[in-house]
Amino acid sequence: MEQISKRKKIIHPLYIIQYNDKAIADLKWNKKTEVRQRVKVNFKNGPRGISIRWTPKTNKKVFQLIFIFRKKTYVHDCGEFLPGSFTCNDLDKYLVSLNDKHRNDDGSFKTNPNVSVITKKQLRRSQLKTVRQVIELICQENFPRRNIKGKLSALSQKDHTRFLIGYNKRREHITFQDDEKGWGQILFKDTSTIKDWKTLFKTYPAETGCYEGDERSVYDSLLGSAIIDDLIPGNIEIYLNEIPRSYGQKENIRKALACLWGYARKNNFMGPNPPRNPTRLEDGGITIEKEEESLWIGSKYNEMSYDIEELEEINKALISLRDKHPFQSECIRMLIYTGMRIEECKKLTKEMITTDINGEPIILMKRYIAKGRTNQRQKDIAYDITEPVQEVLDSLKYQLEKPEFKPYHFVKWLFPSTRISLEKLSDPDRYPKYARSNACRTHTLDDTWSAVKKITHLEGSLKTLRKAFTNITNETLGGAHKGKSLTKHTNEFTPSHSYDKASRKKTTTMARRVGQVLMFKKNAK
């Protein structure tokens, strides 16, 4: 409740305008002659007791009702003026409802609307949040996961921010990393200039700091100014189709908006009766049609794989490159021998090299770095250390025995970066967490993979290696229903995934069979 105090009376400049949407929207602040402060705006022909509290700094315009209840004067906020969402017509309807509930026949107030409106006021305020405001909030909270405690991975955060606030200088100030639990952290690079999200959005407000070109993030687009309730299929489709975009890009934008919508829903930003999810086709959401031919250059590799002879060529190239590309070459060989996903492989640590309950050597990938970690039932994933996998581990040992990599023994990552700061690594007293930080692991394999393709003259991407492993595994074992224990697929073969659970002993036996197939002619240990 807000009561006007006689002891602390605030005097506002007074404007008088006509009671219509155009007059309210046309309110402009004269920066040259007038001092910036709150302005009270009265109406010549408006409803009794109604005025506007206008804040020129934010251009926020709130309808207010001044009324008397039990000989005391109160102010009641009726809603913020927003063209197309809450206008004079909406205010008139609101006042009819308010009068029916709180006024006597003589016009006096029988009850105080501020007492019963607190919850509704909060709800209304939340309902009027724009898409842009919700983006700011989800960034400030580091992109919380919707259905389980924690944050999205750094990779997901990086992808979502690209489409929600990117194509803009904002992303030059932030970096992404995962913590010990696999939760993403968004950090500011130079806290002396921009230390937090509030400062970032103040420095680069909507449509400021954008790169040249047609691409605009949701934050910098007209969609960003829409009320979160108006994040509906039609408006999303207009945004997606306003400039030429590939199917993959549209899908990534849809995923980012799905994350945003889920956050808004979880935080009750759409009231007790939220609209259906506009990003889910099952809920009547948007449909993204695939092009006859993909616009993404990498799509030409979607349907290809490698045979065993081609994998051997790649393996030979990687062995020849291991001195020029240390750790990266080993990481790609691990992809060949295990079929791991790229991001999962890069996040392996030395501590994950262990044994199973039968004493067999394994790589125990922690659930928090694995795909599908939102599923609480998911457990750590075991990869058998077959003979070729052991070759990779031996090659890593060879790298760490080099004089320049001696300090790397303190680094926790299985595939460390070659760009580690030796100064920080050698001074654990000043930098106690550096050796275990995200800065010390390999982040990209692109240079090494480009060198491999140059040597072998083979086309394809790093993802093609997982397809090749899957095909070879299924052919060796006699079908996907058996191979899934090694490929770690969880959704593609639902019936077998649910009912055909291989024992650790059986899985180890199958892994060794596939390992023998992948035993190439060895040029080096």
Average pLDDT over every residue of 33-50? 82
Query: Containing H/E element for 23?
Result: helix 21-25
d(CA 354, CA 372): 23
3 state DSSP class of 82: strand
- What does pLDDT average to over the chain? 84
Please name the residue that has the structure tokens 């008139």. Answer: 92
Q: Where in the chain is the domain with CATH 3.30.160.390?
A: 14-127
Residue 4 has pLDDT above 90, yes or no: no
Q: Where in the chain is the domain with CATH 1.10.443?
A: 304-517
> How confident is the model at residue 331, as a pLDDT?
96
In percent, how much of the chain has pLDDT > 70?
83
For residue 353, the model assigns a pLDDT of 95
Q: Can you give the pLDDT at residue 297?
A: 55
Instruction: Examine the pLDDT at 278 and tell me if it is beyond 60.
Output: yes
Contacts 24+ apart (CB under 8 A), 476-481: 476/513, 476/514, 476/517, 477/510, 477/513, 477/514
Res. 420 pLDDT band, cuts 50 70 90: very high
Q: What angle do CA 233, 236, 240 make, to 5 degrees?
A: 130
**At 239, which amino acid appears?**
Y
Work out the end-to-end distance of the chain between its first and last CA atoms, rounded to an integer number of angstroms: 77
Residue 484 has pLDDT above 50, yes or no: yes
> For 14-127, which CATH class?
alpha beta
Strand partners, 276: none
Tens-digit pLDDT profile for residues 104-145:
888 888 888 876 544 455 545 545 788 999 999 999 999 998
| SS3 at position 493 | coil
Q: Which residue has the tokens 């960034």?
A: 139
The answer, as to whether pTM is greater than 0.85, is no
Q: For the chain, what is the total number of helices (H) and then of strands (E)? A: 19, 10
304-517 CATH choice from 1.10.443, 1.10.287, 1.10.357, 1.10.150: 1.10.443
CA distance 328 to 366: 21
Please give the residue that has the higher pLDDT: either 516 or 319: 319
Q: What is the pLDDT of residue 350?
A: 95
Confidence of residue 377 (pLDDT cuts 50, 70, 90): very low
The residues with which 185 forms a beta bridge, in sequence order, are 177
Tokens of 414: 């299985």
Strand order across the 60-69 sheet:
14-17, 39-43, 50-55, 60-69, 72-80
Q: Convert the pLDDT of each residue in 179-212 to its tens digit.
A: 877 788 999 998 889 999 999 999 999 999 999 9
Which residue has 């006007």 as its token pair?
4
